[in-house]
Structure 1
Amino acid sequence: MKKIALATTLALSSFFAQADTIAGVYIGGQVWDMQAEGSFGSSEQLQAFELEDDNKASYWAALEHPIPLLPNLKLRQNELDTMGMADVDNFEFGDTVYDGDTLVSAELDHLDVIMYYELFDNAIFSIDLGVNLKYAEYAVTVSADDINPVFSEETVDYDGIIPMLYLATEVSLLGTGLDVFAEGSWIGFDDHNVYDAMAGLKYSFVDNLIVDLDIRLGYRAMNFDIQDLDDMYLDTQFDGAFAGIEFHF
């Protein structure tokens, strides 16, 4: 009986080790204490608004495999809606000119479609390189209720893909159970500059043959300096600390 149990244990160990080598699935999420500031417009005339700080969430799933030439895939949904107020003077947005107290509501939620290759990966150090096709469904709405004196609202939206360079790395702090990680996406051309970067510490809370559970703490920053995407102009910054977990099967 002991021999059978030992053989079964060895077989299961071999199976899970091979399964992890063949393919790895990652599922995670984080809560982000987002601090926000920014300016908006439908032309080069940008207006700064006092934006609300809020807690936002991000969720992701990734698949890694050993197939040559075929990139690994990571999907990440990002909550990034915000609103704010400003006392404006002759601010033109869309077809309306605003004066006085004015509200902006920006829906900047998006899906990251990340395709990447593992350039280097061992127990101490890893580095990934690829592209992030950030699928955006953005909408910026400006409104006020004291014009003429009736409620007035204008919306400018953009639906499309923002292609970005993607880079990620992770370094193990030997003997501590901690890893240092950093991840970022960036694009810059003409008057556009967009980045999404984070860095922090990872602690392996559970580590066995079936599942790994990591706790992640760090800092994340996003910047959208966008000029004329379907008449959408942004100059916004979002940053703050985050806490999250990730399962690896």
Structure 2
Amino acid sequence: MKNKILAAALIAAFPSLAQADTFAGIYAGVQYWDMDAQGEFGTSSSTQEYDLSDEGKASIWLAVEHPVPLLPNLKLRYNQMDTDGFADVEDFEFGGITYNGESTLDAELDHADIIMYYELFDNPLTSLDVGLNLKYGDYKVTVVGEVEVDDTTVTATSKESYKGVIPMLYGATELGIPGTGFSIYGEANWIGVGDYSAYDVQVGTQYLLIDNLAVEAAIQLGYRKVKFDLDDVDDLTIDAEFDGIYGGVQVHF
């Protein structure tokens, strides 16, 4: 009798055990960001503030969450963050050239986030994730401007770059509002060590449009702010800030 009861219990529990062991959740999303930009660019010897363009940018991501113990979940995100600007400069040295007069700047700051994180808890009302974000980019800054050569003004071009990883602490949380389909969420990435000081934070709300066993789909509205303060990394200095309102869509399979 006891064996029959035990067998029945195992059979009843098997579907949930199998789901817990094998289920993996996939999240995918895209955001359109109305980005405002401001900042200074240069080298260890001099920096210059530029009047930067305010443009719309995109961010796309894919995340995989799984039940394997000790193995972190993975989120990959690509961020558009290139910008350009104008300044009237005086004795601005960049890339071995000293500029005087009108100059333009092209900053290629697009980068990828490689986020490895653990879910400390996750239920229908609240969740909390912590981990590490390896923010990888091939950052290039190009200056084109007026240079004085033998009492003649000519146009010159110089470039500085930094290719590498900015490691950042990562945390994210979400709070559901019962019975509404709405939730409030936030994400923070931060580092403040040595030549690196940077953060990437966002807060927002989302509404669940579709919620069934096959897929969940939600629309998002929020605010994001990114700050780079890189002091003389590979002879490139960036002290720039980007912020603005975004709208997005996220699906969960």
Contact kept in structure 2, 1:104 and 1:141, CA below 8 Å: yes
The CA RMSD over aligned residues, in Å, is 1.7
Moved over 2 A (4+): 17-21, 145-151
Measured after TM superposition, the shift of residue 184 of structure 1 is 1.4
- Are 2:50 and 1:66 aligned? no
Instruction: Name the structure 2 match of 1:38.
Output: 39
Identity of aligned residues (%): 51
Contact kept in structure 2, 1:44 and 1:233, CA below 8 Å: no
Contact kept in structure 2, 1:43 and 1:93, CA below 8 Å: no
Measured after TM superposition, the shift of residue 177 of structure 1 is 1.1
Residues 189, 79 of structure 1: alpha-carbon distance in 2 compared, 3 angstrom cutoff: same
Three-state SS of the structure 2 residue aligned to 1:18 is helix
1:10-35 deviation line (CA, Å, top 9, x unaligned): xxxx79x9389710001110000000
Mapped partners of 2:202, 2:215: distance in 1: 25
Contact kept in structure 2, 1:98 and 1:144, CA below 8 Å: yes
Contact kept in structure 1, 2:195 and 2:233, CA below 8 Å: no
Q: Structure 2 unaligned segments of length 5 or more: list them.
A: 1-14
1:87-142 deviation line (CA, Å, top 9, x unaligned): 11111111100011111110000000000000111111100000001111100011
Measured after TM superposition, the shift of residue 44 of structure 1 is 4.3
- Are 2:82 and 1:90 aligned? no
Of 214, 221, 227, the match for 1:210? 214
Of 229, 234, 241, the match for 1:230? 234
Measured after TM superposition, the shift of residue 151 of structure 1 is 2.4
Instruction: Name the structure 2 match of 1:156.
Output: 160
1:169-221 deviation line (CA, Å, top 9, x unaligned): 00001122100000111100134310100000010011111111010100000
Mapped partners of 1:135, 1:182: distance in 2: 22
Instruction: Name the structure 2 match of 1:239.
Output: 243
Instruction: Name the structure 2 match of 1:179.
Output: 183
Three-state SS of the structure 2 residue aligned to 1:170 is strand
Contact kept in structure 2, 1:215 and 1:245, CA below 8 Å: yes
Residues 128, 48 of structure 1: alpha-carbon distance in 2 compared, 3 angstrom cutoff: same
| TM-score of the two chains, using structure 1 as the length reference | 0.90
Mapped partners of 1:166, 1:112: distance in 2: 11
Instruction: Name the structure 1 match of 2:201.
Output: 197
Which letter does structure 2 place at the counterpart of 1:216? Q
Task: From the CA coordinates, give the structure whose radius of gyration is larger.
Answer: 2
Residues 213, 224 of structure 1: alpha-carbon distance in 2 compared, 3 angstrom cutoff: same
Mapped partners of 1:156, 1:191: distance in 2: 17
Which letter does structure 2 place at the counterpart of 1:31? Y
| TM-score of the two chains, using structure 2 as the length reference | 0.89
Mapped partners of 1:38, 1:68: distance in 2: 43
Contact kept in structure 1, 2:20 and 2:67, CA below 8 Å: no
